[in-house]
Amino acid sequence: MAGRPLVSADFAGRLDHPLLSLLLAALLALWLLLRPEPIQALPMAWRLPLILVGAWALGTAFVRPMALEVGEGGLSRLAGAGLSRWTLWGFASVIVCLEAWR
């Protein structure tokens, strides 16, 4: 298996773990499919950037395990970038805050 394994011994405390990011992205996607009201309540000036950032963050989280397995090209660099992992966690935090505020 080329690249990093999906599950490793040093799992605790790492936000950049591929399996954890994949699970977070799946839960966020499912939550937003079932309850899109927090995003719909925002004005369009806030909603559109949030949707674009969320689509990028969720997309890179879903692609990351495959990109790490292949390990070549721009897709691997994009999915492995620290910014994409932190953006996913930031997007999740914004969605949770919107849901709590609503």
Strongest mean pLDDT among 19-23, 43-47, 77-81: 43-47
Determine the pLDDT at residue 48.
92
Confirm whether 1 is domain-assigned.
no
- Is the separation of the CB atoms in 67 and 81 below 8 Å? no
Confirm whether 7 is domain-assigned.
no
Confirm whether 8 is domain-assigned.
no
- Domain range for 70 is 18-101
Determine the pLDDT at residue 11.
43
How many CB atoms lie under 10 A from the CB of residue 77? 10
Checking if the pLDDT of 45 tops 90, the result is yes
Quick one: 25 exposed, middle or buried, by C-beta within 10 A (0-12, 13-18, 19+)?
Answer: buried
Q: Which of 3-17, 30-44, 48-62, 64-78 has the lowest mean pLDDT?
A: 3-17
DSSP one-letter string for 29-50: HHHHHH--HHHHTS-HHHHHHH
Confirm whether 57 is domain-assigned.
yes
Domains in the chain: how many in total? Answer: 1
Instruction: State the pTM of this model.
Output: 0.69
